[in-house]
Amino acid sequence: NAGVMQNPRHLVRRRGQEARLRCSPMKGHSHVYWYRQLPEEGLKFMVYLQKENIIDESGMPKERFSAEFPKEGPSILRIQQVVRGDSAAYFCASSQQEMDEQYFGPGTRLTVT
């Protein structure tokens, strides 16, 4: 049973470009969560999605950030017009039930130059 998959593992973007981060949950999991982690800091909740629905996006900046979890395919976190402050590790996690045990992917390390 494959774990949570994320790609790419490393992403370099210049200021103003778009970043697309993908997350495939564990098999049988329909709940996906995205977190941001700055160096030597904790995990900050961004958004919680179920298939085709955004359940809670209270942790996600209203400008430039968006997330989706389509019926088919991975969940995508999209950051438009990236700035240096967006540089961080972005982790997704999935769970089988709502607000249940979460299993994390390996993360995408975004570097904005």
List interacting residues with another protein (CB under 8 A).
Answer: 33, 35, 41-45, 48, 56, 58, 91, 99-107
Tell me how far apart the alpha carbons of residues 40 and 28 are, in angstroms, rounded to a whole number: 32
Least separation in angstroms between residue 72's CB and another protein is 25
CB nearer to another protein: pick between 13 and 36: 36
Give how far Cα 109 sits from Cα of 21, 38, 80, Å.
Answer: 10, 10, 16
Phi, psi dihedral angles at 88 (to 5 degrees): -175, 175
Cis before 70? omega within 30: no
Strand 108-112 to 10-13 pairing: parallel
Tokens of 20: 């697309």
**In this structure, which amino acid lies at residue 100?**
D
CB nearer to another protein: pick between 76 and 89: 89
Least separation in angstroms between residue 11's CB and another protein is 16
CB nearer to another protein: pick between 46 and 79: 46
Least separation in angstroms between residue 16's CB and another protein is 28
CB nearer to another protein: pick between 9 and 51: 9
Least separation in angstroms between residue 33's CB and another protein is 7
